[in-house]
Amino acid sequence: MQRRTFVKGVAAVSIVGMTSTNIEARSARKNIDNSNILTGNEFFLDIDYTTVNITGNDAIATTINGQIAGPTLVWNEGETVTLHVTNHLKKTSSIHWHGIILPTGMDGVPGLSFDGIAPGETFTYRFKVQQHGTYWYHSHSGFQEQTGVYGAIVINAKKKEPFKYDKDYVVQLSDWSDENPTTIYKKLKQMGDYYNFSQRTVGTFFDEVKEKGFSNAFSDRKMWNEMRMSDGDLSDVTGYTYTFLMNGKNPATQFKALFKKGEKIRLRFVNAAAMTFFDVRIPGLKMTVVAADGNHVKPVSIEEFRIGVAETYDVIVQPESNKAYAIFAQGIDRSGYAMGSLTPKTSMLAKAPRMDPVPVLTHTDMGMDMGMEDMNHDGGMKCSAAMKMPKSSMKKSKFAEMEKQRYPITKLPMNRGLHTTMMAMSPKYRLDDPGVGLRNNGRKVLTYADLKNRYSTSNDKKPDREIILHLTGNMERYMWSINGIKYADAKPLEFHYGERLRITFINDTMMNHPMHLHGMWSDLETGDDKHLVKKHTIVVQPGAKISYRVTVDARGAWAFHCHMLYHMAGMFRKVVVA
C-alpha cells in the first residue's frame, strides 16, 4: 500500500499546475488564457477533454482551460462578473459557484436552476459579487468534478481586512484516479469497502485480546459484525486508487510557495476533493486561522486542522528560518497524502513527515453515550460493550444550552428501512471534538468550537421553527439517504421566504458528511450565539448532531446535499423557497 502510494507520487504531472506566483501580482485578462490566475470582470472558460499523466500512465481528464486545477478566478467585492462557459464535452456540463450568494438561475445545478450546458454550447453567468474571501467552483454534472472540473475563487474585500500579510497563495487539495469514476461507483455499489484495506484480521484480533482481554475483544468484534460495519471505515475511496494533489501537483512534483524570512504568508486552503477529508499541518510552524468558508473569524492559533470536502480555511503563517517547510495534508484514513513546500527558493524542497497511525472508529463515532446499554441496531440486535469517550466529551458539556433550545419542529417523513442499517441512539453536539485520528495527538487541532464570527451576531433573529434531518445509509448496498429516503423518492423541502430556520442534522452513519446548502448562509451554532459562524459547508461527524440557522432570503429552487460525490445521488434534497 505504501509502496504503491510512493510509486504513484514519482510520476510528473504533464499539464501545468498552479505556480507559486503571488495572487496580487497578475494583471487582468479578458480572454481564454492558460495561465493559472485570471482577474477582471469578464472570463472565458472552456470545459474540454485533456490527456494528463499524473500517475505514470496517460488518462483522460475533463478540464477547464486545459488545466488541473482550473484557473483561479480573482474577483472584486461589489463588482458584477460575467463568465462565458463553453462546453466541448460530448455530454451536458455545468459550473456551480460554490458558496457564492447569487440568483438561483446563476447557481449552475442542472435540473434545478437551469438546463445545463449542452455539448458545443456556451452559457453566460452574470451576477453581482456580494461577498469576499476564498471559495471555489466545480461541475455539478455527473462525476465531472472527480475528473478535473474545479478551480478556486479569490474575492478581494471592498474594505481593508482586519489582518496583514505579505504574500497570498491558494492551496487547493484534490483527489485523482486513473479509474473512470463510473467504474469506482460501480465497485462501491458491489462492495462498499472495496477500496478499504484497513480491515480487522485474525492478527489484529489477537492484538486486541492482549490489550483488552478475550471477553472485551470478542464483544467488540461481535458488535461490529452485527452492525455489518468496520471500525476502519474512514474513507469510501482511498489511496489504493487515489493520488492526492495540491494545486494539481502530486507529492513528487510538489507545489511551491515562496517566502522571505519573517514574511507573513496567507494560505487559502480549499478542499476540492471528490471524497477525501484532509488533516493539514505545517511541521515547525503554527497557523493562525483568520477565515472559514470565506468569512472572517476571530484569529485562533493552531498546529493542525481537518478540512472537509468543499470547506475552505484561510491561515497566516510566519516562517522565521530560511528552510523549506512541508505543507502536509494526509488523508483521514492515512492511505496517502498531498504535499507542497513553503520555501525560500524553488530548488529547496521539504521532506514529508511520517504519517500518523491509521485511526480506528470508537463508540463515540457510533453515537453511543456513557453508560448506554442495550443499543438496538438493524431490527433489534443489541450490544453492551465498554464505552470510550474523548476526554472533552466526558466533562460537563459547554453545549448544554444548545440541547435545551426548543423551537417548533416541522415533522418530516422518516423511513427506517432498506436505506438505514444503523441509528445513533445518543447523538451529542461534539463541536469541541477534533474527530477520529486527531484526538489527543499532542498537537493543537482546530475544532468548530474554536470558530467565532469576527463580528457580532447578537441582534440576529431567533429561529421561527426547526427541521431535523437524519443522515442515513446502508454501507453493504452503498445507499445513502436523508431520513431513510433517497433523493429520487423524496419531496422537496419547503422553506418560507423571510423566515429564520434552524436545521439540526443527526448523523446515523459512521462517516463524516459535509452538508452544503446552496444560495444561503449556514450560521453554525458553536455555543456562542453572539458570534455565530457563517459557513457554506457544515461537517456532521459520525454519530453526532449539529445545528445551524438559515435566514431564508433567496427565492427559487436550491440544492441541499452531502458533498461526498458518491453519496450525493441519495443524500440530496431540493429546497423550494416561496
> What confidence tens digit (pLDDT) does each residue in 111-125 have?
999 999 999 999 999
Q: Rounded to two decimals, what is the model's pTM?
A: 0.88
Phi, psi angles (nearest 5°) of residue 178: -70, -20
191 part of a folded domain? no
Q: What is the structure's pLDDT at 381?
A: 28
The beta strands (E) that lie in 163-229 are given as 167-177
Is the pLDDT confidence value at 34 over 70? no
Q: How confident is the model at residue 223 (pLDDT cuts 50, 70, 90)?
A: low
Q: Are 540 and 504 in contact (CB under 8 A)?
A: no
224 part of a folded domain? no
The DSSP H or E segment spanning 459 is none
Q: Are 463 and 549 in contact (CB under 8 A)?
A: yes
The DSSP H or E segment spanning 281 is strand 278-281
CA distance 120 to 289: 43
Per-residue pLDDT tens over the stretch 273-315? 999 999 999 999 999 999 999 999 999 999 999 999 999 999 9
CA distance 565 to 549: 25
460 part of a folded domain? yes
Per-residue pLDDT tens over the stretch 239-274? 999 999 999 999 999 999 999 999 999 999 999 999
The beta strands (E) that lie in 428-553 are given as 428-429, 465-474, 479-482, 493-495, 500-507, 513-517, 522-524, 533-535, 537-540, 544-551
248 part of a folded domain? no
Of residues 541 and 216, more confidence is placed in 541
210 part of a folded domain? no
| 394, burial (CB in 10 Å: exposed 0-12, middle 13-18, buried 19+) | exposed
Q: What is the structure's pLDDT at 227?
A: 54
Burial 35-51 (b: 16+ CB within 10 A, else e): bbbbbbebbbbbbbebe
Q: What is the structure's pLDDT at 389?
A: 38
Which domain covers residue 17, as residue numbers? 2-166
533 part of a folded domain? yes
Residue among 470, 482, 462, 459 nearest 549 (CA): 462
Determine the angle formed by the axes of helices 214-226 and 202-212, rounding to 10 degrees: 130
Domain end, chosen from 133, 149, 166, is at 166
308 part of a folded domain? no
Is the pLDDT confidence value at 200 over 80? no
Q: Write down the mean pLDDT value for the chain.
A: 87
CATH number of the domain within which 380 lies = 2.60.40.420
Phi, psi angles (nearest 5°) of residue 184: -60, -45
Q: How confident is the model at residue 363 (pLDDT cuts 50, 70, 90)?
A: confident
Number of H helices, E strands in the chain: 6, 32
Domain count of the fold of the chain: 2
CA distance 394 to 239: 34
Question: Residue range 179-204: average pLDDT?
Answer: 81
107 part of a folded domain? yes
- In 3-state terms, what secondary structure has residue 575? strand
Q: What is the structure's pLDDT at 391?
A: 44
Domain end, chosen from 147, 166, 185, is at 166
Q: What is the structure's pLDDT at 209?
A: 57
How many Cβ atoms are within 10 Å of 235's Cβ, its own excluded?
A: 25
Q: Are 475 and 228 in contact (CB under 8 A)?
A: yes
CA distance 401 to 494: 28
Of residues 32 and 139, more confidence is placed in 139
For residue 285, what is the DSSP state?
Answer: -
Is the pLDDT confidence value at 27 over 60? no
Q: What is the sign of the dihedral through the CA atoms of 296, 25, 285 and 308?
A: positive
CA distances from 234 to 175, 358, 434, 561 (A): 15, 9, 15, 20
For the chain, how are helix, strand and coil distributed in percent, rounded to 5?
A: 10, 35, 55
Domain end, chosen from 111, 134, 166, is at 166
